[in-house]
A and B are shown apart, each in its own frame.
Chain A
Amino acid sequence: MMKRIISATVMNQAGVLNRITGVLSRRRFNIENISVGHTDNDKISRTTFIVNVESLEEVEQLMKQLNKQIDVLKVVDITDEAVITRELALLRINADNKNRNEIYTLIAPFRANVVDVAKNSLCIQVVGTTEKIDALIDLVRQFGIKEVARTGVTAIRRGNSKPDKIEKLIIK
């Protein structure tokens, strides 16, 4: 099994996310993670998702099937490129007068922020790679986690990266 990060630009039409997840599910691809949002052009959205596949042929087939969708503009496998991946998480954890300061100190190296404080809990916001967020969650588990909300990964290529082999295979 390998994880591939796929980035697709799509027409911002009603139901376009359905079309994408529909292609993935009926061809039995396993999505681990999906996120979607506008680009600078409000007619175009970017969706980023992570799939588990057995081989590169499999991911190539997936990309071709996605490309067949009329509302899909471009599909790129950016796994092997220089990419920046980020995820945002909001964590509500138990906190009281005794340990609040300890929590503040603990999360500081993660550049996480406290965005809400209540009598018995506080809410932390953290942005970073999936690994970083996983590490923070592990660390604050000792206080007792009430709720976790994660956005899923979004990604973008670095400015000076070259397109990789797989992108060239896609004829569109």
Chain B
Amino acid sequence: MKVEQQKKELTGALILLDALIENGVEVVFGYPGGQALPLYDAIYDYGIKHILTRHEQGAIHAAEGYAKISGKPGVVITTSGPGATNILTGLADALIDSMPLVVLTAQVPTDVIGTDAFQEADMIGLTMPITKHNYQVRDVKSLKRILAEAFHIASTGRKGPVVVDLPKDLLIATCKRTESVVIDLPGYQPNFTPNALQINKLKAAIQKAKKPIVVAGGGVILSGASEELREFCNKYNLPVVHTLLGLGGFDPDSKLYLGMGGMHGEYAANKAICECDLLISIGARFDDRFTGSVKHFAPNATIAHIDIDPAEIGKIIKTDIPIVADAKNVIAEMLKEPINRADDDQWVEYLFEQRKTFPLNYAKDSEDLKPQEVLEEIFNQTKGEAVIVTDVGQNQMWAAQFIKQTAPNRWATSGGLGTMGYGLPAAIGAQIAEPDRNVFAILGDGGIQMTVQELATIKENKLPIKIIILNNSVLGMVRQWQTLFYKERYSHTVLTNPDFEMLSRAYGIEACTINKKEDLKNMLKKAIEYDGPIVVNCLIDKDEMVYPIVAPGAGLHEMKGV
């Protein structure tokens, strides 16, 4: 019997599913099609959890949301051709935000590749610039090794998406079960431990600094260094500025917390960047939305840049102390031996005063419903315990400003690529990663319509997501720029919207509309208590702005609307 079992040959589809289980996969997001049929046939009775989205873009954003909240790689399956090309946006999004994904795209059979076969698209060529790596499987015997390598590459070093292209014939072909595989990637050796010399330089810089700050980015979250960051900054009295993706890495109630910096950053945060004499960047890549004009960015500071990706160092900002390593290891190393810091608290007190004097603001006494208070109310009612997923635009910036992130891995947003349509499907992945936690999708009326079909996925899987639409019937952020920089010429930013309540109900999802300030608390409470998904359509003014703002091309010292 045993000998027979060993001799038994497995199909490529089964080898692949076994490999997913061996690599710790608990859920896959996908959409079937012609070339993916052998794989879907194997899934039929395999017993792996598969979420059928209503569009492949929904599947990949859901996988991103899952990866962001769970910290594990997200897995996507698509068919060939149009199914596969539908995930390109998600791949670019995942690459720039360092999201670990393993994406399995079916492909036409090997013997017709290159003949413009039905539903053929060159996925290796198309995805080369928007993946960390990609593979086309050419031999069923290499499938297990390729999958192991794909998971290894996606989830180590600077994380990112890996595509594995699977010609249909290889899903059907059989080979003997192989017990173990050896990952052999001589060209992929990420550096995890910091260089001692640079660590000493950083220690000396901290010792000397009178006005130091830490810029904590998404790398802190990805490396699980949030605890260490808190200890490090508290121990040496270092104020913390977050990037958009870094939110949740530090304690927002700390005196050292300055909030988010950048284009829509807080006054105190940008002030700190402008005036600091030592800037320690941890897991951030100096995106232009964060730095503003590079010429005016931290002009007086010694720059220490900690990043696992050597190519980020010196790419945008000239670096004095480069440290290529995992953020967690670096901070742990910094905590080993105490640094003597002659610190008189003046700098921390000064920034704390700035933050008190110029807090984030909006017209609280207005009689209209304000998006900012909707978000503050969400924070208050959930006591900061909810998972927040946003779309892109004003909704995203307000959420970043007004929903404090108290813990890591509870905040998912499309940062680098700024992908409208990300929010609703990403919330699906987030809810699957955290089934017992309240998950909010904060969306605009524009963004939800880019992936609105995923309401069906939410209904089908009974995911109790609270879907908040900040509905101003315009493309708010673009309109804001048209107001400020294009003489109020509102070219194609006014939307004729569907009735979102009726639309939701058509999908079998409960819905309500809030248009009065006085209804907010009560209706939001009901929505949160409601057992199931619900769409909360919040009607807000089309001319509400995100402030402060640093105009494109301007320096962080030129904030408007403080």
Contact = CB atoms under 8 A, between A and B. Distances in A.
A148 to B, nearest CB: 31
B486 to A, nearest CB: 28
Interface in A24-71: 26, 57, 60-61, 64-65, 67-71
A170 B309 CA distance: 11
B314 A57 contact: yes
Interface stretch (B102-110, B167-175, B182-190): B182-190
Contacts of B188: 70
B125 A70 contact: no
A2 interface: no
Contacts of A69: 133, 187
A122 interface: no
Contact of B128 (A11, A22, A61): A22
A68 B309 contact: yes
Max chain A Cβ within 10 angstroms of own Cβ: one of B186, B189, B315: B186
Nearest to B189: A172
B418 interface: no
B88 interface: no
A171 interface: yes
A159 interface: no
- The interface size bin for chain B is 20 to 34
B278 interface: no
Given A70-B188, A73-B186, A171-B191, A15 B124 contact: yes
A14 B84 CA distance: 21
A171 B190 CA distance: 9
Contacts of B269: none
Nearest to B324: A171
Contact of B125 (A11, A18, A65, A73): A18
A13 B124 CA distance: 13
B311 A70 contact: no
B375 to A, nearest CB: 37
B128 A70 contact: no
B536 interface: no
Interface in B274-302: none
Nearest to A68: B311
B153 A70 contact: yes
B311 A64 contact: yes
A67 B185 contact: no
Contacts of A22: 128-129
Interface in B119-134: 124-125, 128-129, 132-133
A163 to B, nearest CB: 17
B310 interface: yes
A155 to B, nearest CB: 21
Interface string B291-332: 000000000000000000111011100000000100000000
- The interface size bin for chain A is 20 to 34
A170 B189 CA distance: 13
Contacts of A171: 191, 310, 324
Max chain A Cβ within 10 angstroms of own Cβ: one of B153, B188, B315, B324: B188
B310 A70 contact: no
B310 A61 contact: no
B310 A11 contact: no
Given A11-B187, A18-B125, A170-B310, A70 B315 contact: no
B310 A67 contact: yes
Nearest to B195: A171
B562 to A, nearest CB: 35
Contact of B187 (A18, A57, A73): A73
Interface string A161-172: 000000000111
Contacts of B315: 61
A165 to B, nearest CB: 14
A19 B124 CA distance: 10
Contact of A70 (B124, B132, B136): B132
A72 interface: yes
B191 A65 contact: no
A60 B129 CA distance: 20
A70 B191 contact: no
Contacts of A170: 310
A72 B188 CA distance: 8
Max chain B Cβ within 10 angstroms of own Cβ: one of A14, A26, A72, A171: A171
Interface string B322-354: 001000000000000000000000000000000
Interface string B89-110: 0000000000000000000000
A162 B481 CA distance: 55
A73 B186 CA distance: 7
A8 to B, nearest CB: 10
Contacts of A19: 128
B199 to A, nearest CB: 15
A60 B187 contact: no
Nearest to A19: B128
B187 A65 contact: no
A71 B324 contact: no
A70 B133 contact: yes
A47 to B, nearest CB: 13
A124 to B, nearest CB: 38
B35 to A, nearest CB: 20
Contacts of B313: 64
Given A15-B124, A64-B310, A26 B129 contact: yes
A71 B191 CA distance: 17
A170 B311 CA distance: 9
Contacts of B311: 61, 64-65, 67-68
Given A22-B129, A171-B191, A60 B185 contact: no
A72 B187 contact: yes
Contacts of B185: 70
Nearest to B153: A70
B128 A60 contact: no
A158 B234 CA distance: 53
23 contacts: A10-B187, A15-B128, A18-B125, A19-B128, A26-B129, A61-B311, A61-B314, A61-B315, A64-B311, A64-B313, A68-B309, A68-B311, A69-B187, A70-B132, A70-B133, A70-B153, A70-B185, A70-B187, A171-B191, A171-B310, A171-B324, A172-B189, A172-B310
Given A70-B187, A72-B187, A172-B310, 18 more contacts: A10-B187, A11-B186, A11-B187, A15-B128, A18-B125, A22-B129, A57-B314, A60-B314, A61-B311, A61-B314, A65-B311, A68-B311, A70-B132, A70-B153, A70-B188, A73-B187, A171-B191, A172-B189
Interface of B: 124-125, 128-129, 132-133, 136, 153, 185-189, 191, 309-311, 313-315, 324
Instruction: Return the 7 tightest CB-CB contacts between A and B, nearest first.
Output: A64-B311, A70-B133, A73-B187, A70-B188, A171-B310, A171-B324, A64-B310
